[in-house]
């Protein structure tokens, strides 16, 4: 998707210098990917204690074994 941005030249130059990246599109893509990952991690962290998650490993293994026997 083509988009036009108004970016701070000094900020972009600093990022290019520190990262060694020369392609502004790749810099923006990297920044967006890292921002998305950060938001996902924060959402998971904020959900801690709000989800009722019970896992019975033995039950899971028995069910998996039963499925494998039936196939």
Is residue 52 one of the residues assigned to a domain? yes
Is residue 10 one of the residues assigned to a domain? no
The residue count of the chain comes to: 71
13 SS3 class: helix
Is residue 40 one of the residues assigned to a domain? yes
Is residue 16 one of the residues assigned to a domain? no
Q: For the segment 15-68, what is each residue's pLDDT rounded down to a tens digit?
A: 999 999 999 999 999 999 999 999 999 998 888 777 777 778 888 888 888 888
Could you list the residue range(s) of the whole structural domain that residue 42 is in? 23-70
Is residue 4 one of the residues assigned to a domain? no
48 SS3 class: coil
CB 43 within 8 A of CB 52: no
Q: Could you identify the residue written with the tokens 């290019």?
A: 16
Is residue 15 one of the residues assigned to a domain? no
Give the total number of structural domains in the chain.
1
At residue 65's C-alpha, the angle toward residues 63 and 67, to 5°, is: 70
Is residue 55 one of the residues assigned to a domain? yes
pLDDT at 44: 87
């Amino acid at each position: 998707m083509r988009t036009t941005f108004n970016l701070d030249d000094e900020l972009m130059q600093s990022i290019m210098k520190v990262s060694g990246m020369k392609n502004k599109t790749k810099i923006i893509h990297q920044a967006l990917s890292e921002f998305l990952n950060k938001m996902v991690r924060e959402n998971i962290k904020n959900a801690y204690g709000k989800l009722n998650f019970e896992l019975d490993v033995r039950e899971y293994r028995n069910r998996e074994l039963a499925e494998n026997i039936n196939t």
